[in-house]
Amino acid sequence: MPCLGVLGGMGPAATVDFMSKLVALTPASHDQEHLPVLVASLPQIPDRSAAILGQGKDPLPALLEGLRLLNQAGVGLITIPCATSHHWYDNLSAQSKAPILHIARATAQRIAQGGHAMLLATRGTIASGFFRDELIAQGMTVEIPDPETEQITVDDCIRLVKEGRAPSANQLMERLLERADARGIRTFILGCTELPLAARGIARDGLTLIDSTLELARQAVEHGLRQGWNRQPIVDVPMIDHPG
């Protein structure tokens, strides 16, 4: 049965946020209009950022194992609601039968040509450069948080969300955005899937937050609806009165 595949658990709360966005973005008045989704939430996948920085286990074998599981079940498209893991995107894509959406590309494609933004992401994503490259390809100029000050706050926000302390992350995010605003930065790319949870409810005149989780979900829902995955029965059964 063709359906959407999600390689998740990185972290688990970010995967739940992604799934909740899939549901919210699907126009539906009853269950059966929603898209079928297979989610492998595998939090044991080694830390992606640490690996990029040369400080941890290689997550690639575990990522590939997750893809194998999804492909074996016959999913038609794969999404990975973890930005940092896209450092290995080419490797993952080459070994997946189902195409994999690219979270940074989905985010960049949402942005009108040009503009200036600060990329908020893990240190691994920043060091890797893949996310910045996608934004630059879209004509943006991209600012990176100061590694000695602002990035420490970004790291803390991500850590707090992973610890289940989103309200504390929210306070830190609010201050980070205020200080950057004082320097004239108005647009922020939430380029790590924990960060939309840290930024939940933050809104201000002139502030633009681009949510990579939301943009990945948007492309996934558009693809699934176009393919009609919500119009196919799981098994063909005749219309009968069930004996109860």
11 touches a copy of itself (CB under 8 A): yes
196 touches a copy of itself (CB under 8 A): no
Q: Give whichever of 6 and 118 is closer to a copy of itself, judged by the CB atom.
A: 6
Q: Which stretch binds a copy of itself (CB under 8 A): 65-73, 101-109, 140-148, 198-206?
A: 65-73
Q: Give whichever of 112 and 239 is closer to a copy of itself, judged by the CB atom.
A: 239
The span from the CA of 157 to the CA of 192, in Å, is 10
Q: Which of 193, 228, 195, 197 is nearest to 80 (CA)?
A: 193
Q: Is the Cβ–Cβ distance between 8 and 81 less than 8 Å?
A: yes
Q: Give whichever of 129 and 139 is closer to a copy of itself, judged by the CB atom.
A: 129
62 touches a copy of itself (CB under 8 A): yes
Of 128-147, binders to a copy of itself (CB under 8 A) are 128
x/- track of binding to a copy of itself for residues 96-135 (CB under 8 A): -------------------------------xx-------
Question: Which whole-number Å values give the CA distances from 205 to 150, 178, 202, in the listed order?
Answer: 22, 12, 11
| Distance of closest approach, residue 129 Cβ to a copy of itself, in angstroms | 10
Of 216-235, binders to a copy of itself (CB under 8 A) are 230, 232-235
Q: Which stretch binds a copy of itself (CB under 8 A): 36-44, 109-117, 178-186, 202-210?
A: 36-44
Q: What 8-state DSSP symbol labels residue 45?
A: S
The span from the CA of 18 to the CA of 8, in Å, is 9
Phi, psi of 73 (to 5 degrees): -80, -5
Residue 91: helix, strand or coil by DSSP? Answer: helix
The span from the CA of 59 to the CA of 179, in Å, is 35
202 touches a copy of itself (CB under 8 A): no
- Looking at residue 228, its amino acid is G
x/- track of binding to a copy of itself for residues 39-58 (CB under 8 A): xxxxxxxxx---xx-x-xxx
The span from the CA of 179 to the CA of 184, in Å, is 9
Among 2, 7, 65, 203, binds a copy of itself (CB under 8 A): 65
Residue 39: helix, strand or coil by DSSP? Answer: strand
| Distance of closest approach, residue 142 Cβ to a copy of itself, in angstroms | 20
